Amino acid sequence: MPDVTITGLTKRFGDVAAVAGLDLAVRPGELVALLGPSGCGKTTTLRLVAGFMAPEAGEIRVGERVLSSAGFVIPPERRRMAMIFQSYALWPHMTVAQNVAYGLRFARTPRAERSGRVDEMLRAVQLAGYGARYPGELSGGQQQRVAVARALVVEPEILLLDEPLSNLDASLREEMRFEIRRLHERFGITTLYVTHDQAEAMVISDRVAVLRGGRVVQVGPPAELFERPRTRFVAEFIDKTNLIDAVADGAASVARGPLRLRVAAGGLVPGAAAVVSIRPHQIALAPRAAAPAPPPGANALAGTVIRASYLGDSVDYQVAVEASDVVLRVIGPTPARARAGEPVAVTVPAEACVLLPPED
Protein backbone atom coordinates (compact mmCIF):
# COMPACT_ATOMS: atom_id res chain seq x y z
CA MET A 1 0.00 0.00 0.00
CA PRO A 2 1.41 3.42 -0.93
CA ASP A 3 1.25 6.54 1.19
CA VAL A 4 -0.38 9.85 0.26
CA THR A 5 1.52 13.11 0.68
CA ILE A 6 -0.23 16.43 0.28
CA THR A 7 1.91 19.56 0.41
CA GLY A 8 0.86 23.20 0.17
CA LEU A 9 -2.39 22.28 -1.60
CA THR A 10 -4.40 25.36 -2.67
CA LYS A 11 -7.70 25.61 -4.50
CA ARG A 12 -9.63 28.82 -5.07
CA PHE A 13 -13.21 29.40 -6.15
CA GLY A 14 -13.27 32.96 -7.38
CA ASP A 15 -11.83 35.02 -4.51
CA VAL A 16 -12.37 32.38 -1.86
CA ALA A 17 -9.62 29.89 -1.11
CA ALA A 18 -11.47 26.67 -0.28
CA VAL A 19 -8.18 24.93 0.37
CA ALA A 20 -5.32 27.18 1.48
CA GLY A 21 -1.91 25.56 1.65
CA LEU A 22 -3.02 22.26 3.16
CA ASP A 23 -0.38 19.76 4.28
CA LEU A 24 -1.16 16.18 5.22
CA ALA A 25 0.70 12.87 5.15
CA VAL A 26 -1.26 9.63 5.19
CA ARG A 27 0.78 6.55 6.01
CA PRO A 28 0.46 3.31 4.04
CA GLY A 29 -2.62 1.37 5.06
CA GLU A 30 -3.83 4.11 7.36
CA LEU A 31 -7.36 5.50 7.61
CA VAL A 32 -7.35 9.25 8.13
CA ALA A 33 -10.55 11.23 8.62
CA LEU A 34 -10.81 14.78 7.34
CA LEU A 35 -13.05 16.40 9.92
CA GLY A 36 -14.45 19.90 9.98
CA PRO A 37 -17.54 22.07 9.72
CA SER A 38 -19.10 22.78 6.35
CA GLY A 39 -16.98 25.09 4.24
CA CYS A 40 -13.70 23.99 5.85
CA GLY A 41 -12.43 22.56 2.55
CA LYS A 42 -12.59 18.86 3.41
CA THR A 43 -14.68 17.78 0.41
CA THR A 44 -12.68 20.01 -1.93
CA THR A 45 -9.50 18.36 -0.64
CA LEU A 46 -10.94 14.92 -1.30
CA ARG A 47 -12.03 15.89 -4.82
CA LEU A 48 -8.55 17.28 -5.48
CA VAL A 49 -7.06 13.97 -4.38
CA ALA A 50 -9.50 12.14 -6.67
CA GLY A 51 -8.47 14.34 -9.59
CA PHE A 52 -11.88 15.88 -10.23
CA MET A 53 -10.31 19.32 -9.81
CA ALA A 54 -6.96 20.93 -10.50
CA PRO A 55 -5.13 22.71 -7.66
CA GLU A 56 -3.73 26.24 -8.11
CA ALA A 57 -0.68 25.37 -6.04
CA GLY A 58 0.80 22.49 -4.11
CA GLU A 59 1.21 18.84 -4.86
CA ILE A 60 -0.47 15.50 -4.27
CA ARG A 61 1.75 12.43 -4.34
CA VAL A 62 0.90 8.78 -4.02
CA GLY A 63 4.12 6.95 -3.26
CA GLU A 64 6.66 8.50 -5.63
CA ARG A 65 4.06 9.38 -8.26
CA VAL A 66 2.93 13.02 -8.53
CA LEU A 67 -0.79 12.96 -9.32
CA SER A 68 -1.61 16.65 -9.08
CA SER A 69 0.35 19.85 -9.13
CA ALA A 70 -0.32 23.34 -10.43
CA GLY A 71 -1.27 23.03 -14.10
CA PHE A 72 -0.93 19.26 -14.19
CA VAL A 73 -3.55 16.75 -13.18
CA ILE A 74 -3.70 13.06 -13.95
CA PRO A 75 -7.38 12.40 -14.68
CA PRO A 76 -9.33 10.36 -12.13
CA GLU A 77 -9.55 7.29 -14.34
CA ARG A 78 -5.77 6.85 -14.25
CA ARG A 79 -5.28 7.21 -10.49
CA ARG A 80 -6.03 3.63 -9.38
CA MET A 81 -8.31 4.94 -6.67
CA ALA A 82 -11.86 4.18 -5.65
CA MET A 83 -14.39 6.49 -4.09
CA ILE A 84 -17.62 6.18 -2.14
CA PHE A 85 -19.92 9.12 -2.64
CA GLN A 86 -22.36 10.87 -0.37
CA SER A 87 -25.19 10.04 -2.79
CA TYR A 88 -23.75 6.50 -3.27
CA ALA A 89 -23.89 7.27 -7.02
CA LEU A 90 -25.14 3.79 -7.89
CA TRP A 91 -26.10 3.58 -11.55
CA PRO A 92 -29.84 3.01 -11.60
CA HIS A 93 -29.78 1.41 -15.05
CA MET A 94 -27.41 -1.37 -13.97
CA THR A 95 -28.02 -4.28 -11.59
CA VAL A 96 -26.11 -4.56 -8.34
CA ALA A 97 -23.73 -7.07 -9.95
CA GLN A 98 -23.18 -4.83 -12.98
CA ASN A 99 -22.53 -1.88 -10.70
CA VAL A 100 -19.95 -3.81 -8.72
CA ALA A 101 -18.33 -5.37 -11.81
CA TYR A 102 -17.97 -2.05 -13.66
CA GLY A 103 -14.54 -1.14 -12.35
CA LEU A 104 -13.08 -4.61 -12.91
CA ARG A 105 -13.02 -3.99 -16.66
CA PHE A 106 -10.51 -1.21 -16.16
CA ALA A 107 -8.58 -3.00 -13.44
CA ARG A 108 -7.53 -5.55 -16.10
CA THR A 109 -9.30 -8.37 -14.33
CA PRO A 110 -9.74 -11.31 -16.74
CA ARG A 111 -13.35 -11.67 -17.80
CA ALA A 112 -13.59 -15.16 -16.36
CA GLU A 113 -12.63 -14.03 -12.86
CA ARG A 114 -14.96 -11.08 -12.69
CA SER A 115 -18.20 -12.71 -11.60
CA GLY A 116 -16.36 -14.70 -8.94
CA ARG A 117 -14.82 -11.51 -7.58
CA VAL A 118 -18.18 -9.76 -7.58
CA ASP A 119 -19.86 -12.61 -5.67
CA GLU A 120 -17.04 -12.73 -3.18
CA MET A 121 -17.26 -9.00 -2.56
CA LEU A 122 -21.05 -9.06 -2.25
CA ARG A 123 -20.61 -11.74 0.40
CA ALA A 124 -18.06 -9.58 2.19
CA VAL A 125 -20.60 -6.77 2.49
CA GLN A 126 -23.37 -9.24 3.39
CA LEU A 127 -25.29 -8.84 0.14
CA ALA A 128 -24.85 -12.35 -1.28
CA GLY A 129 -27.76 -13.13 -3.60
CA TYR A 130 -28.62 -9.50 -4.33
CA GLY A 131 -26.62 -9.32 -7.57
CA ALA A 132 -29.60 -9.38 -9.93
CA ARG A 133 -31.50 -6.58 -8.15
CA TYR A 134 -31.52 -2.98 -9.27
CA PRO A 135 -30.32 -0.29 -6.85
CA GLY A 136 -33.82 1.17 -6.71
CA GLU A 137 -35.05 -2.08 -5.17
CA LEU A 138 -32.67 -1.88 -2.20
CA SER A 139 -32.92 -0.07 1.14
CA GLY A 140 -30.61 2.85 1.93
CA GLY A 141 -28.29 0.67 3.99
CA GLN A 142 -28.08 -1.97 1.28
CA GLN A 143 -27.35 0.68 -1.35
CA GLN A 144 -24.56 1.89 0.89
CA ARG A 145 -23.09 -1.62 0.98
CA VAL A 146 -23.23 -1.89 -2.80
CA ALA A 147 -21.30 1.36 -3.04
CA VAL A 148 -18.71 -0.04 -0.64
CA ALA A 149 -18.47 -3.29 -2.63
CA ARG A 150 -18.10 -1.43 -5.93
CA ALA A 151 -15.21 0.57 -4.52
CA LEU A 152 -13.40 -2.28 -2.79
CA VAL A 153 -13.70 -4.94 -5.49
CA VAL A 154 -11.15 -3.22 -7.73
CA GLU A 155 -8.55 -3.40 -4.93
CA PRO A 156 -7.70 0.29 -5.24
CA GLU A 157 -4.42 1.75 -4.02
CA ILE A 158 -6.32 4.53 -2.32
CA LEU A 159 -9.91 4.62 -1.08
CA LEU A 160 -11.78 7.93 -0.76
CA LEU A 161 -15.04 8.35 1.15
CA ASP A 162 -17.13 11.51 1.00
CA GLU A 163 -19.54 11.63 3.95
CA PRO A 164 -20.76 8.16 3.03
CA LEU A 165 -23.04 7.76 6.05
CA SER A 166 -24.79 11.12 6.11
CA ASN A 167 -27.86 9.83 4.26
CA LEU A 168 -28.54 6.98 6.70
CA ASP A 169 -30.73 7.13 9.78
CA ALA A 170 -29.06 7.26 13.18
CA SER A 171 -29.04 3.59 14.15
CA LEU A 172 -27.96 2.35 10.73
CA ARG A 173 -25.24 4.98 10.65
CA GLU A 174 -23.80 3.67 13.90
CA GLU A 175 -23.85 0.10 12.58
CA MET A 176 -22.15 1.11 9.30
CA ARG A 177 -19.34 2.89 11.19
CA PHE A 178 -18.24 -0.39 12.68
CA GLU A 179 -18.76 -2.14 9.34
CA ILE A 180 -16.48 0.30 7.51
CA ARG A 181 -13.86 -0.03 10.23
CA ARG A 182 -14.10 -3.83 9.99
CA LEU A 183 -13.64 -3.75 6.19
CA HIS A 184 -10.71 -1.38 6.58
CA GLU A 185 -9.02 -3.76 8.98
CA ARG A 186 -9.64 -6.65 6.60
CA PHE A 187 -8.40 -4.99 3.38
CA GLY A 188 -5.96 -2.44 4.83
CA ILE A 189 -6.36 0.11 2.05
CA THR A 190 -4.92 3.59 2.52
CA THR A 191 -8.06 5.64 3.09
CA LEU A 192 -9.19 9.25 3.30
CA TYR A 193 -12.56 9.71 4.94
CA VAL A 194 -14.44 13.02 4.88
CA THR A 195 -16.99 13.69 7.59
CA HIS A 196 -18.41 16.53 9.67
CA ASP A 197 -19.45 14.14 12.44
CA GLN A 198 -16.75 13.98 15.12
CA ALA A 199 -18.15 10.80 16.70
CA GLU A 200 -17.99 9.05 13.32
CA ALA A 201 -14.42 10.24 12.80
CA MET A 202 -13.36 8.98 16.23
CA VAL A 203 -14.86 5.50 15.73
CA ILE A 204 -13.57 4.92 12.21
CA SER A 205 -10.14 6.43 11.92
CA ASP A 206 -6.57 5.72 12.90
CA ARG A 207 -5.93 9.45 12.88
CA VAL A 208 -8.17 12.49 12.53
CA ALA A 209 -7.18 15.67 10.70
CA VAL A 210 -9.26 18.63 11.84
CA LEU A 211 -9.67 21.18 9.05
CA ARG A 212 -10.51 24.83 9.29
CA GLY A 213 -10.34 27.53 6.65
CA GLY A 214 -8.74 25.15 4.16
CA ARG A 215 -5.89 24.09 6.47
CA VAL A 216 -5.21 21.24 8.83
CA VAL A 217 -5.25 22.70 12.36
CA GLN A 218 -4.43 19.48 14.20
CA VAL A 219 -3.90 15.89 13.24
CA GLY A 220 -3.58 12.95 15.58
CA PRO A 221 -5.20 9.81 16.98
CA PRO A 222 -8.75 10.37 18.31
CA ALA A 223 -7.74 10.18 21.97
CA GLU A 224 -5.03 12.78 21.51
CA LEU A 225 -7.42 15.22 19.84
CA PHE A 226 -9.96 14.73 22.59
CA GLU A 227 -7.59 14.94 25.53
CA ARG A 228 -5.01 17.40 24.24
CA PRO A 229 -6.66 19.75 21.73
CA ARG A 230 -4.12 22.29 20.60
CA THR A 231 -6.55 25.08 19.73
CA ARG A 232 -9.78 26.47 21.02
CA PHE A 233 -11.43 25.46 17.71
CA VAL A 234 -10.40 21.81 18.03
CA ALA A 235 -11.48 21.68 21.67
CA GLU A 236 -14.93 22.99 20.79
CA PHE A 237 -15.32 20.93 17.64
CA ILE A 238 -14.35 17.60 19.24
CA ASP A 239 -17.26 17.06 21.61
CA LYS A 240 -18.65 19.47 24.23
CA THR A 241 -16.32 21.44 26.45
CA ASN A 242 -16.16 24.32 28.94
CA LEU A 243 -13.88 27.12 27.80
CA ILE A 244 -12.72 29.70 30.31
CA ASP A 245 -10.82 32.82 29.26
CA ALA A 246 -8.32 33.55 32.03
CA VAL A 247 -4.93 35.05 32.89
CA ALA A 248 -1.90 33.10 34.12
CA ASP A 249 -1.10 33.87 37.76
CA GLY A 250 1.55 31.23 38.40
CA ALA A 251 3.63 28.66 36.58
CA ALA A 252 0.78 26.13 36.64
CA SER A 253 -2.31 28.10 37.56
CA VAL A 254 -4.66 30.64 36.01
CA ALA A 255 -7.21 33.07 37.40
CA ARG A 256 -10.41 34.66 36.26
CA GLY A 257 -11.39 37.23 38.85
CA PRO A 258 -11.57 35.46 42.21
CA LEU A 259 -11.66 32.01 40.49
CA ARG A 260 -8.29 30.20 40.55
CA LEU A 261 -7.58 26.97 38.71
CA ARG A 262 -4.55 24.70 38.85
CA VAL A 263 -3.84 23.39 35.35
CA ALA A 264 -2.02 20.42 33.87
CA ALA A 265 0.86 22.20 32.13
CA GLY A 266 3.59 24.21 33.79
CA GLY A 267 5.80 27.02 32.57
CA LEU A 268 3.16 29.72 32.34
CA VAL A 269 4.26 33.35 32.35
CA PRO A 270 2.16 35.21 34.97
CA GLY A 271 0.00 37.90 33.41
CA ALA A 272 -0.28 36.17 30.03
CA ALA A 273 -3.73 35.45 28.67
CA ALA A 274 -4.74 31.77 28.60
CA VAL A 275 -7.78 29.67 27.76
CA VAL A 276 -8.66 26.59 29.77
CA SER A 277 -10.72 23.74 28.35
CA ILE A 278 -12.50 21.38 30.75
CA ARG A 279 -14.56 18.44 29.45
CA PRO A 280 -17.97 18.28 31.22
CA HIS A 281 -17.67 14.62 32.18
CA GLN A 282 -14.29 15.16 33.90
CA ILE A 283 -15.92 17.41 36.48
CA ALA A 284 -17.30 15.77 39.63
CA LEU A 285 -20.27 17.20 41.48
CA ALA A 286 -21.93 16.46 44.85
CA PRO A 287 -24.40 18.22 47.15
CA ARG A 288 -22.29 20.55 49.29
CA ALA A 289 -23.40 19.01 52.59
CA ALA A 290 -22.52 15.45 51.56
CA ALA A 291 -19.40 16.20 49.51
CA PRO A 292 -16.34 14.02 50.10
CA ALA A 293 -12.97 15.74 50.58
CA PRO A 294 -11.40 16.59 47.22
CA PRO A 295 -8.28 14.61 46.22
CA PRO A 296 -5.05 16.52 46.82
CA GLY A 297 -4.12 18.84 43.95
CA ALA A 298 -7.64 18.99 42.55
CA ASN A 299 -9.51 22.28 42.16
CA ALA A 300 -12.40 22.42 44.64
CA LEU A 301 -15.08 24.98 43.77
CA ALA A 302 -18.44 25.91 45.25
CA GLY A 303 -21.45 26.48 43.03
CA THR A 304 -25.20 26.37 42.58
CA VAL A 305 -27.07 24.16 40.11
CA ILE A 306 -28.99 26.29 37.60
CA ARG A 307 -30.45 23.46 35.59
CA ALA A 308 -30.30 19.66 35.72
CA SER A 309 -31.51 17.72 32.68
CA TYR A 310 -32.09 14.00 32.86
CA LEU A 311 -30.82 12.32 29.66
CA GLY A 312 -31.39 8.67 30.49
CA ASP A 313 -27.79 7.46 30.63
CA SER A 314 -26.45 10.67 32.21
CA VAL A 315 -27.46 13.96 33.81
CA ASP A 316 -26.49 17.26 32.22
CA TYR A 317 -26.03 20.09 34.78
CA GLN A 318 -25.36 23.78 34.51
CA VAL A 319 -23.56 25.05 37.55
CA ALA A 320 -22.92 28.71 38.40
CA VAL A 321 -19.57 28.96 40.14
CA GLU A 322 -19.80 31.03 43.32
CA ALA A 323 -18.38 34.56 43.26
CA SER A 324 -17.63 34.24 39.56
CA ASP A 325 -19.31 34.78 36.18
CA VAL A 326 -18.31 31.26 35.08
CA VAL A 327 -21.08 28.75 34.38
CA LEU A 328 -19.79 25.17 34.04
CA ARG A 329 -21.43 22.38 32.16
CA VAL A 330 -21.11 19.10 34.05
CA ILE A 331 -22.12 15.63 32.92
CA GLY A 332 -22.58 13.13 35.73
CA PRO A 333 -23.99 9.65 36.19
CA THR A 334 -27.61 8.88 37.01
CA PRO A 335 -29.40 9.12 39.35
CA ALA A 336 -29.13 12.92 39.63
CA ARG A 337 -27.00 14.09 42.56
CA ALA A 338 -28.53 17.56 42.84
CA ARG A 339 -31.56 19.54 41.74
CA ALA A 340 -31.84 23.03 40.34
CA GLY A 341 -31.14 25.65 43.01
CA GLU A 342 -29.15 23.28 45.20
CA PRO A 343 -25.69 24.32 46.43
CA VAL A 344 -23.00 21.88 45.25
CA ALA A 345 -19.30 21.18 45.60
CA VAL A 346 -17.52 20.89 42.26
CA THR A 347 -14.19 19.10 41.82
CA VAL A 348 -11.98 19.60 38.76
CA PRO A 349 -8.72 17.62 38.60
CA ALA A 350 -5.77 19.77 37.50
CA GLU A 351 -5.01 17.37 34.63
CA ALA A 352 -8.55 17.93 33.31
CA CYS A 353 -7.76 21.65 32.81
CA VAL A 354 -6.16 21.73 29.35
CA LEU A 355 -4.41 24.95 28.42
CA LEU A 356 -5.02 26.41 24.99
CA PRO A 357 -3.51 29.41 23.23
CA PRO A 358 -5.80 32.43 23.75
CA GLU A 359 -6.50 33.03 20.05
CA ASP A 360 -6.44 30.89 16.96
Partner 1 sequence: MAVGAVSVGRRRLEGLDRAAPVWLLAAAALVLLILLPLGWLAYISVSGPQGLTLAHYARVLGDPPLQKALWNTVLLAFWSGLVALAIGAPMAWLSARTDLPGRRLLQSLVMASFVTPPFLGAFAWVMLAGPNAGYLNQLYRILTGGEAPLLNIFSMPGLIFVVAIYTFPYVYIMITNTLGLIASDLEDAAAILGAGRLQVAWTITLPMVLPAILSGFILAVLQALALFGSPAILALPAGFHTVTTQMWSFFQYPPRAELAAAFSIPLLLATALLLLAQKKLLGRRGYAAVGGKGGQRRAIRLGPWRYPALAGCLAVLACSVFLPYGILLKAAFARAWAQPLTRGNFTLENWSFTFLHGATQSAIVNTLELGVLTACVGAGLATLLAYVTNRRLIMGHQVLGFLALAPVVIPGVVLAVALFVAYTRPPFLLYGTLWILFLAYLTKEMPVGYSQADATMRGIHPELEEAGRILGAGRLRVLREITAPLARSGIIATWCFVFIGVIRELSASIILFTPNTKVISVVIFDLKEEGQFGAIAVLGVFMLVMTFATVALMQALLGRDVIGVRTSGGSG
Vertex 330 angle, CA 328 and 335, to 5° = 145
103 is a contact residue toward partner 1 (CB under 8 A): yes
Closest CA to 79 of 117, 44, 106: 106
Cβ of residue 86: shortest distance to partner 1, in angstroms? 7
Among the candidate windows 74-82, 124-132, 243-251, 298-306, which touches partner 1 by CB under 8 A? 74-82
Cβ of residue 135: shortest distance to partner 1, in angstroms? 11
DSSP states along 181-216: HHHHHHH--EEEEEES-HHHHHHH-SEEEEEETTEE
Single residue of 160, 192, 209, 354 touching partner 1 by CB under 8 A: 160
199 is a contact residue toward partner 1 (CB under 8 A): no
Measured from the CB atom, the residue of 5 and 86 that comes closer to partner 1 is 86
123 is a contact residue toward partner 1 (CB under 8 A): no
Measured from the CB atom, the residue of 77 and 313 that comes closer to partner 1 is 77
Among the candidate windows 103-111, 187-195, 226-234, 336-344, which touches partner 1 by CB under 8 A? 103-111
Cβ of residue 60: shortest distance to partner 1, in angstroms? 13
Cβ of residue 160: shortest distance to partner 1, in angstroms? 7
The dihedral built from the CA positions of residue 255, 259, 260 and 261, taken in this order, carries a sign that is negative
Among the candidate windows 9-17, 29-37, 48-56, 119-127, which touches partner 1 by CB under 8 A? 48-56
Q: Using an 8 Å Cβ cutoff, are 340 and 306 in contact?
A: yes
Instruction: Give long-range contacts, CB 8 A cutoff, 24+ apart: 249-254.
Output: 252/350, 254/353, 254/355
User: What's the chain's length in residues?
Assistant: 360
Measured from the CB atom, the residue of 187 and 236 that comes closer to partner 1 is 187
For residue 11, CA distances in Å to 140, 235, 286, 341, 345 come to 33, 27, 52, 53, 52
142 is a contact residue toward partner 1 (CB under 8 A): no
Q: What single-letter DSSP state applies at residue 161? A: E
Single residue of 78, 123, 240, 339 touching partner 1 by CB under 8 A: 78
Q: By CB under 8 A, how many residues form the interface with partner 1?
A: 33
Cβ of residue 73: shortest distance to partner 1, in angstroms? 6
13 is a contact residue toward partner 1 (CB under 8 A): no
Alpha helices in the chain (DSSP H): 42-50, 96-101, 111-124, 140-152, 170-187, 198-204, 222-227, 232-237
Dihedral-angle region of residue 317 (phi above 0 means left; psi in -120 to 50 means alpha; beta otherwise): beta
Single residue of 28, 87, 257, 290 touching partner 1 by CB under 8 A: 87
Closest CA to 251 of 264, 261, 266, 272: 266
Measured from the CB atom, the residue of 102 and 307 that comes closer to partner 1 is 102
111 is a contact residue toward partner 1 (CB under 8 A): no
Closest CA to 202 of 38, 44, 42, 32: 32
Is it true that the peptide bond before 156 is cis, omega within 30 degrees of 0? no
134 is a contact residue toward partner 1 (CB under 8 A): no
* DSSP 3-state of 319: strand
- Draw the binding track, 247-286, toward partner 1 (x: CB under 8 A; -: no contact): ----------------------------------------
* End-to-end Cα spacing for the chain: 36
**Contact footprint for partner 1 (CB under 8 A):** 50-52, 66, 72-83, 85-87, 89-93, 102-103, 105-107, 150-151, 154, 160
